A and B are shown apart, each in its own frame.
Chain A
Amino acid sequence: MRDSLGGVEGRELVPVVAVLATHQSGDDVARSLAALRQQTYGSLRMLVACDYSDIERVGGLVSHDDNTSEVVCEVVGGSFPDVANEATGLVEGDNGLFWFIEGGTSPEPDALERLVDELLQSNAGIVGPKIVHLEERSRVQAVGIAVDRLGERAGPLDLDEIDQEQHDRVRDVLAVDASGMLVRADLFRRLGGFAPGLTHGTADIDLCWRAHYAGARVVVVPDAVIARPQSFVLNLVEERQRGQAQFARDQLDAALVAVTARQFPVRVLQTFAVSLLQIVLGIFLGAARQPARRLRALLTLPLRLSSLRERRRQMEAIRLVSDADVSPFLQPISNRLLSSLRSHDADVVVTSGAPVIRQRERTYGPTLAWFLIVLGILIGSREFIRSGVPGVGAWLPVDLSTGELLARWWSPWDARGVGSTLGSAGGFVVLAALRAVPLVGSLLTGWGLGVGAVICGLIGIQRISDVYPTTRPRVVALIVYAAGPVVPAVLGAGDVEALTVYAVLPWIVHLARRLAGIVAADSSTVEGDLVDGVLVVQPAQRRRLVSAIVLISAAGGSIAPVVIPVAVATLVLLAFSSWLMRSESVVVTRFLTAAGAAAVSYLLLLPSSLGWRWSTLNGGELAGVVAENARNAATFGGDAGVGLLGAALLVPLAAALLITRAWRLTWAVRGASLVLVGMASLVFAGRGVATAYLPTASVLSVVMLFGATFPAAGIAGGFGSDVLDRSFGWRQPLALIAHIAIVLGVVPGVLSVGAGDWNAAEYPISSVVASQFPSNPATGPYRVLWVGDPRVLPMRGHQFEPGVAFVITDSGGLEIGDSFPRAEGDVADAVREALSSLADGSTSRVGRLLGPLGIRFIAVPVADGVASTLDDPIAPPAGLTEVLAAQLDVGVVQSPPTLEVFVNRSWIPPAAFLTGGAEIASRNAGIESLLLADLDGISSVALYGEDGEEFVDAVLANGAQRLTVPSAGVLHLGIPFDRHWQVETADGFIAPRAGFGQTVAFDIPAGGEIAVSYDTPLSAYFVKVVIALAWIAMLLAATRPERRKRPAQVGLNEPVMAFGVSDEQEVDE
Chain B
Amino acid sequence: MSSEAQRRARRLNRRHPMLVVMLLTTTALVWLARQDRGVVGVASFNVAPEVWVPYVPDGEMLESTWFCPGVPASGETDVGGAVVVTNTSDQSTAARVTFLSDLATARTKIVEIPAFDRVQVDVDAEQQGTFVATTVELLGGGGLVEQRAFYPTSSGLGQSVSACSTTLSSEWYLAEGYTVDLAEQFVLLSNPSADQVVVDVAFHTSAGLMEPSAYTGLPVNPYSVRVIDVGVEGGGARGEASVGVSVRAARGALMVGRSMTANDDRRGGSSVSTGAPLTADRWWFADGLKGPEVTERFSVMNPTDAAVSVIATFFPAGEIDETLTAGVSTTVDVPSDDVVVVDAGSLAELPEGSHSVVFSTLDGRSIVVDRALTRVSESGLKVTSVSPGVPERRDGLLPTAWLIPAAPSVEVSDGAVLLNLDDVEQEVTVSTYGSNGLVEVGSSSRFTVPAASQQLIDLTDIGLLGRPVVVSSSGRIIVERRVPSSDSFSNAWAIAGMPCC
Contact = CB atoms under 8 A, between A and B. Distances in A.
Interface stretch (B28-36, B326-334, B335-343, B386-394): B28-36
Contacts, number: 171
Given A687-B35, A842-B60, A665 B22 contact: no
Given A676-B25, A684-B32, A842 B63 contact: yes
B14 A665 contact: yes
A239 B193 CA distance: 82
Nearest to B26: A676
A680 interface: yes
Interface in B55-111: 57, 59-65, 94, 96, 108, 110
A930 B29 CA distance: 51
Given A529-B10, A931-B139, A625 B43 contact: no
A304 interface: no
A683 B28 CA distance: 10
B32 A888 contact: no
A931 B96 contact: yes
A888 B65 contact: yes
A170 interface: no
Contact of B18 (A669, A789, A927, A936): A669
B219 interface: no
A882 B45 CA distance: 8
A890 B40 contact: no
B139 A932 contact: yes
A839 interface: yes
B94 A841 contact: no
Contacts of B64: 842
A935 B295 CA distance: 49
B45 A582 contact: no
Contacts of B139: 928, 931-932
B41 interface: yes
B172 to A, nearest CB: 15
A878 B21 CA distance: 41
A889 B98 CA distance: 13
Contacts of A801: 41, 43
Nearest to B196: A891
Nearest to B57: A841
Given A529-B14, A877-B45, A932 B96 contact: yes
A687 B45 contact: no
Contacts of A882: 45-46, 48
A297 B140 CA distance: 76
A159 interface: no
Contact of B47 (A623, A665, A840): A840
A624 B22 contact: no
Given A580-B17, A891-B194, A932-B110, A841 B48 contact: yes
B18 A688 contact: no
Contact of A885 (B7, B47, B49, B253): B253
Given A842-B141, A928-B139, A529 B35 contact: no
A416 interface: no
Given A529-B7, A842-B61, A879 B46 contact: yes
A934 interface: yes
Contacts of B65: 843-845, 888
B18 A802 contact: no
B480 interface: no
A684 B29 CA distance: 9
Contacts of B35: 687
Interface string A652-692: 00100110010001000100110010011001100110000
Interface in B313-334: none
A657 B16 CA distance: 9
Nearest to B7: A529
A683 B194 contact: no
Contacts of B96: 931-932
A879 B253 CA distance: 15
Interface in A871-915: 877-880, 882-883, 885-892, 903, 905
A385 to B, nearest CB: 39
Interface residues of B, number: 54
Contacts of A888: 65, 135, 137, 192-194
A630 interface: yes
A669 to B, nearest CB: 5
A631 to B, nearest CB: 11
Contacts of A789: 43
Contacts of B1: none
B363 interface: no
Interface string A521-533: 0000001110100
Contacts of B195: 885, 891-892
A577 interface: yes
Contacts of B15: 657-658, 665
B179 to A, nearest CB: 33
A838 interface: yes
A885 B41 CA distance: 24
B154 interface: no
A1019 B46 CA distance: 46
A579 to B, nearest CB: 10
A803 interface: yes
Interface residues of A, number: 65
B14 A582 contact: yes
B42 interface: yes
A880 B45 contact: yes
Interface string B107-133: 010100000000000000000000000
Contacts of B7: 527-529
A581 interface: yes
A931 B62 CA distance: 9
Contacts of B348: none
A838 B59 CA distance: 14
Contact of B44 (A877, A887, A891): A877
Contact of B42 (A623, A845, A885, A928): A623
Contact of A672 (B18, B32, B48, B193): B18
Contacts of B41: 623-624, 688, 801-803
A883 B62 contact: no
A843 B28 contact: no
A928 B140 CA distance: 8
A804 interface: yes
B19 interface: yes
Nearest to A583: B14
B44 A878 contact: yes
Contact of A683 (B33, B40, B57, B193): B33
Nearest to B141: A842
Given A529-B14, A842-B60, A842-B63, A676 B21 contact: yes
B43 A580 contact: no
A837 interface: yes
B168 interface: yes
Contact of B63 (A688, A843, A880): A843
Given A841-B49, A889-B194, A905-B194, A661 B11 contact: yes
A932 B46 CA distance: 25
A294 B10 CA distance: 47
Nearest to A892: B195
Contacts of B152: none
Given A577-B18, A623-B41, 7 more contacts: A842-B141, A877-B44, A883-B48, A886-B193, A888-B193, A890-B194, A891-B195
29 contacts: A528-B7, A529-B7, A581-B18, A624-B43, A657-B15, A657-B18, A658-B15, A669-B18, A676-B21, A680-B25, A680-B28, A687-B40, A802-B41, A840-B47, A841-B47, A841-B61, A842-B59, A842-B61, A843-B61, A877-B44, A891-B195, A892-B195, A892-B251, A928-B62, A931-B63, A931-B96, A931-B139, A932-B94, A932-B139
Closest 6 pairs between A and B when the two form their complex, measured CB to CB:
A803-B43, A879-B46, A842-B61, A879-B45, A623-B43, A688-B40
Interface of A: 527-529, 531, 577, 580-582, 623-625, 630, 633, 654, 657-658, 661, 665, 669, 672-673, 676, 679-680, 683-684, 687-688, 789, 801-804, 837-845, 847, 877-880, 882-883, 885-892, 903, 905, 927-928, 931-932, 934, 936
